């Protein structure tokens, strides 16, 4: 019998849409739901889910014709904006 899993120490939300300039903008937010573990441990647990959320939305944008993809990441204390390189999508998919 596997051990019971407690609630995740984080919640990730994503939303994406085209901007007026035709850029696919992915907005992703990481909210911590507990501080029972060190922040670095929680971030290590959240990293795969953050990556998956970005990949799913980036692929959706590309399927809708996006030529450029930007990511707006909020973690509560920090906000990061960056252009998602095309090479990232190729490294995460089998196309």
Give the count of alpha carbons within 13 A of 53, CB side only. 20
Instruction: Please state the pTM of the whole predicted model.
Output: 0.81
CB 65 within 8 A of CB 54: no
Structure tokens at 8: 């995740």
d(CA 16, CA 42): 24
Does pLDDT of 76 surpass 70?
Answer: yes
pLDDT (tens digit per residue) in 18-70: 999 999 999 999 999 887 888 888 889 999 999 999 999 999 999 999 989 99
**Beta carbons within 10 angstroms of residue 58's beta carbon:** 22
Query: If pLDDT is split at 50, 70 and 90, which confidence band does 81 have?
Result: very high
């Amino acid at each position: 019998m596997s051990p019971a899993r407690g609630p995740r120490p984080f919640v990730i939300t994503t939303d994406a849409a085209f901007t007026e300039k035709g850029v696919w903008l992915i907005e992703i937010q990481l909210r911590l739901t507990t501080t029972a573990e060190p922040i670095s441990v929680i971030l290590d647990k959240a990293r795969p889910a953050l990556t998956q959320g970005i990949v799913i939305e980036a692929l959706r944008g590309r399927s809708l014709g996006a030529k450029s993809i930007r990511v707006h990441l909020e973690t509560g204390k920090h906000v990061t904006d960056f252009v998602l390189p095309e090479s990232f999508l190729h490294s995460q998919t089998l196309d």
